[in-house]
Amino acid sequence: MFKFGWIFLWLGKNFFKILFSLLLLGILFLLLNLLLPIFSFLSFFFDMFSEIQNLFENLKNNMDDFKWEKIEPIKKDNNNNA
């Protein structure tokens, strides 16, 4: 019987600590549930920005690799001017 009373005594001393810890865990859970969709929405924009940067880098590489010497087509002499 004494151990049962000791449990009540311990709960009486630590009730507010347990309640406060559970309240903090609940608030943390709520914040995570609210912020995770926002972060995933922002990651979409960051990925889009990264893809645009990759596009311009590929464009720059293709422009550097391109042979810029002008190749003129062979002109045929047609004297069909009447």
Is 48 inside a domain boundary? yes
Overall domain count for the chain = 1
Per the domain annotation, does 77 fall within a domain? no
Q: Is residue 8 part of a domain?
A: yes
- pLDDT tens string, the chain, 82 residues long: the values are 678 888 888 888 999 999 999 999 999 999 999 999 999 999 998 999 999 999 999 999 988 887 777 666 777 766 665 5
pLDDT at residue number 54? 95
User: What's the predicted TM-score (pTM) here?
Assistant: 0.52
Enclosing domain of residue 47? 1-64
- Residue 45 inside a domain? The answer is yes
Cα–Cα distance, 37 to 31 (Å, whole number):
11
Instruction: Tell me whether residue 40 is in a domain.
Output: yes
Is 52 a domain residue?
Answer: yes
CA distance 56 to 62: 10
Please check whether residue 53 lies inside any domain of the structure: yes
Query: Distance (Å, rounded) from C-alpha 22 to C-alpha 29?
Result: 10
Q: What is the pLDDT of residue 81?
A: 58
Residue 18 contacts by C-beta under 8 Å, 6 or more apart in sequence?
11
Tokens at residue 1, please? Answer: 């019987």
